[in-house]
Structure 1
Amino acid sequence: MAAAEPYASNPSLPAAKPSFWTVERRDSLAGFLFIAPQLVGIIIFVMVPLGLVFWYSLHEWNVLANTFTYTGAQNYAQLLSDPSLPSVLGSTAIFSAGLVVFNMSLALLLAVLLNQKLAGITIFRTLFFSPVVVSLVAWTIVWSFLLQKNGGINGVLMMFGLEGPNWLRQPTTAMISVIAVQVFKNVGLNMILFLAALQGVPNELYEAARIDGAPRFKQFRRITLPLISPTVLLTSIITIVGSLQVFAQIAVLTQGGPGLSTTVLVYYLYQQAFQFHFFGYGSTLSILLFMIVAVLTFAQWQLRKRVVFYEN
Structure 2
Amino acid sequence: MAVREKRKRPFWTMERRDAAAGYLFIAPQLAGITLFVLIPLGLVFWYSLHEWNVLASTFRFIGTENYERLLTDRDLPRVLGATAIFSAGLVVLNMSLALLLAVLLNQKLAGITIFRTLFFSPVVVSLVAWTIVWSFLLQNNGGINGMLAAIGVEGPNWLRNPTTAMISVIVVQVFKNVGLNMILFLAALQGVPRELYEAARVDGASPFKQFRRITLPLISPTVLLTSIITIVGSLQVFAQIAVLTQGGPGISTTVLVYYLYQQAFQFHLFGYGSTLSILLFVIVAVLTFAQWQMRRKIVFYEN
> Per the shorter chain, which TM-score range?
over 0.9
SS at match of 2:294: helix
1:79 aligns with 2:70: yes
Alignment of structure 1 residues 218-229 onto 2, 5 Å: 218-229=209-220
Q: What's the CA shift string for 1:175-230, capped at 9, x where partnerless?
A: 00000000000000000000000000000000000000000000000000000000
Asked if structure 1 preserves the Cα contact closer than 8 Å seen for 2:296 and 2:302, the reply is no
Q: Distance in 2 between matches of 1:10 and 1:251?
A: 85
Equivalent of 1:244, from 212, 215, 235?
235
> What residue in structure 2 maps to residue 52 of structure 1?
43
Equivalent of 1:277, from 260, 268, 284?
268
Q: Which runs of 4+ in 1 moved over 4 A?
A: none
Q: Distance in 1 between matches of 2:292 and 2:206?
A: 32
Asked if structure 1 preserves the Cα contact closer than 8 Å seen for 2:295 and 2:302, the reply is no
Equivalent of 2:53, from 37, 51, 62?
62
Alpha-carbon offset, residue 86 of structure 1: 0.3
Q: How many residues align?
A: 303
1:101 aligns with 2:92: yes
Equivalent of 2:80, from 83, 89, 93?
89
Q: What's the CA shift string for 1:112-133, capped at 9, x where partnerless?
A: 0000000000000000000000
Alpha-carbon offset, residue 303 of structure 1: 0.5
> What residue in structure 1 maps to residue 103 of structure 2?
112
Residue 131 of structure 1 aligns with an amino acid whose one-letter code is P
| Structure 1: stretches of 5+ with no match in the other structure | 1-8
Q: What's the CA shift string for 1:224-267, capped at 9, x where partnerless?
A: 00000000000000000000000000000000000110000000
TM-score (norm 1): 0.96
Equivalent of 1:309, from 280, 289, 300?
300
Alignment of structure 1 residues 165-184 onto 2, 5 Å: 165-184=156-175
SS at match of 1:19: coil
Alpha-carbon offset, residue 16 of structure 1: 3.4
> What residue in structure 1 maps to residue 178 of structure 2?
187
| Structure 2: stretches of 5+ with no match in the other structure | none
Alpha-carbon offset, residue 17 of structure 1: 2.1
- Rg (Cα) greater in structure: 1
Q: Distance in 1 between matches of 2:203 and 2:31?
A: 55
Q: What's the CA shift string for 1:35-63, capped at 9, x where partnerless?
A: 00000100010000000000000001111
> What residue in structure 2 maps to residue 4 of structure 1?
none
> What residue in structure 1 maps to residue 278 of structure 2?
287
Alpha-carbon offset, residue 10 of structure 1: 3.8
Q: Distance in 2 between matches of 1:208 and 1:101?
A: 32
Q: What's the CA shift string for 1:265-309, capped at 9, x where partnerless?
A: 000000000000000000000000000000000000000000111
SS at match of 1:269: helix
Alpha-carbon offset, residue 93 of structure 1: 0.1
Alpha-carbon offset, residue 65 of structure 1: 2.0
Q: What's the CA shift string for 1:137-170, capped at 9, x where partnerless?
A: 0000000000000000000000110000000000
TM-score (norm 2): 0.98
> What residue in structure 2 maps to residue 261 of structure 1?
252
- What is the percent sequence identity of the aligned residues? 83
SS at match of 1:169: coil
Equivalent of 1:231, from 222, 234, 255?
222
Q: Distance in 2 between matches of 1:14 and 1:207?
A: 71
Residue 232 of structure 2 aligns with an amino acid whose one-letter code is V
Q: Distance in 1 between matches of 2:150 and 2:259?
A: 38
* RMSD, aligned CA: 1.1
Q: Distance in 2 between matches of 1:205 and 1:16?
A: 61
> What residue in structure 2 maps to residue 217 of structure 1?
208
| Structure 1, 180-189 or 20-29: larger mean CA deviation | 20-29
SS at match of 1:161: coil
SS at match of 2:131: helix
Equivalent of 2:11, from 14, 20, 23?
20
